[in-house]
């Protein structure tokens, strides 16, 4: 049963370090019966550097803190108005590998954007989702004991200027965009249930619990 069940938590604005610690604790304490979880939230302004992150990709941090995280990938920015979905999933139980779950997360975002009549693309060489070659969603995961944590960050209605202080995801020429620039009626509150539906369907959950 547990492979078909997921708990969805809507957490609002949450401190990055506190949330990261909670993800690691849940992952470390998991057993075969632990139910998977999706956490929907936003973070106060913060740059996070992935395990492969290079310092030269941070051009100017200014007053925004920089945190060295244990996810894959390079540097990115999180801030209010960006929807984070942390995917705490037992990949062994779901019979998923890393490439497959990244593809399923990307597919969910592409489907969500299609709901708003926005055509999006993915790139094999650069995980995430793009609209007109501008990145709208970043994906970074950590796998421990066959279980995934961290997840995706979708730019909805935020201040994009801090992305100019970094080379997003390690790409100097990469431009960022967000949903509100493409559809002014979009907001996180109305968008979140749609994204949850796409994610839970694509990840094969038939029993969705909210907490």
Active site residue 147: no
> Which tokens in the block code for residue 46?
């913060």
Question: What token pair was written down for 123?
Answer: 């790139």
* Cα 142 to Cα 44: distance, rounded to the nearest angstrom: 21
Select which of 124, 137, 147, 169 is catalytic.
169
Please choose, from the candidates 171, 193, 155, the residue with its C-alpha nearest in 3D space to the C-alpha of residue 77.
Answer: 155
CA-CA distance, 63 to 159, in Å (whole number)? 15
Closest Cα partner for 88 from 22, 185, 15, 132? 22
Instruction: Report the alpha-carbon distance of residue 3 to residue 93 in Å, rounded.
Output: 6
Provide the annotated active-site residues.
169
């Amino acid at each position: 049963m547990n492979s078909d069940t997921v708990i969805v938590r809507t957490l609002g604005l949450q401190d990055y370090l506190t949330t990261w610690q909670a993800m690691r604790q849940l992952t470390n304490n998991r057993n075969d019966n632990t139910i998977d979880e999706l956490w929907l939230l936003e973070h106060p302004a913060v740059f996070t550097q992935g395990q492969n992150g290079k310092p030269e990709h941070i051009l100017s941090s200014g007053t925004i803190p920089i945190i060295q995280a244990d996810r894959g990938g390079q540097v990115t920015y999180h801030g209010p108005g960006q929807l984070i979905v942390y995917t705490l999933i037992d990949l062994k139980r779901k019979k998923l590998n890393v490439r497959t779950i990244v593809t399923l997360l990307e597919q969910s975002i592409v489907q969500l954007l299609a709901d708003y009549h926005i055509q999006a693309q993915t790139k094999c060489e650069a995980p995430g989702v793009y609209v007109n070659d501008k990145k709208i969603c970043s994906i970074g995961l950590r796998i421990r004991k066959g279980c995934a944590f961290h997840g995706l960050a979708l730019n909805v209605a935020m201040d994009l200027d801090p992305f100019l202080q970094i080379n997003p995801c390690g790409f100097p020429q990469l431009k960022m965009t967000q949903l509100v620039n493409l559809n002014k009626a979009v907001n996180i509150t109305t968008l979140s249930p749609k994204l949850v539906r796409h994610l839970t369907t694509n990840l094969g959950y038939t029993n969705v619990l909210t907490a």
